Structure 1
Amino acid sequence: MPLTFRKSFRILPGVRLNINKRSWSITTGGKNGPKHTHSSTGRRTTSMDLPGPFGWRRTTTKRSK
């Protein structure tokens, strides 16, 4: 099993800094609303938990020229 590195820090209420081996990201949002994640690699994700076993996620990636 490969070893992985991942760490998450709460920097303000509702704001988290996530660090892994290849990139970092900032997540904003709370439990009851949508969460927005902006990654250093250009990926942006919006996700939201829905009632029951459902969830919603939309991911966009910045295209290189």
Structure 2
Amino acid sequence: MGEKAAWARKKRFDNRVLFWVRRGYTLNQVSHILGCNVTKVIASVKRLKADGKLKYAKK
């Protein structure tokens, strides 16, 4: 798998996390909805904050 594909997959996941976090769901709830580990969601939130797309996320 190439670098671009991995980057695109991360971006798509970030957008899905952003969708739920903006609606007020906690990180734990988001991980359950998306069916993934909460550490993956936390990493995604950190990336989103670094990009300036997100300011606050419920813990």
When normalised by structure 2's length, the TM-score is 0.22
When normalised by structure 1's length, the TM-score is 0.21
| Larger CA Rg, structure 1 vs 2 | 1
Return the structure number with greater helix share: 2
Return the structure number with greater strand share: 1
